[in-house]
Amino acid sequence: MEQVDWHKNHIDDDTVITDSYKTTQNVRRYFKSKFGEQFKFDRNFMQWMKDATGKTMAEACQEWSNRQ
């Protein structure tokens, strides 16, 4: 699996969540571009992201939406 620099790489819907995933400002910007200022990380969603290796960021958006 290709490594992603979660601090610097461009993130889009097709970006695959890797085992090196980090919750960074870059990731937060991606989610805020999708959901606006109401987007917030919580512990449960952060854990879901850590466990989501192999899923895409589009799937992560769907998961966040389902939790709201």
Q: What is the pLDDT of residue 4?
A: 84
Domain limits of the chain?
Answer: 1-68
Q: φ and ψ at 30, to 5 degrees?
A: -60, -50
Residue 21 one-letter amino acid: Y
Query: Each residue of 30-61: pLDDT tens digit?
Result: 999 999 999 999 999 999 999 999 999 999 99
pLDDT band at 66 (very low <50, low <70, confident <90, very high): very high
In degrees, rounded to 5, the angle at the alpha carbon of residue 39 between the alpha carbons of residues 22 and 25 is 35
Q: What is the mean pLDDT of the chain?
A: 93
- The pTM of the full predicted model, rounded to 2 decimals, is 0.89
Q: What is the pLDDT of residue 5?
A: 87
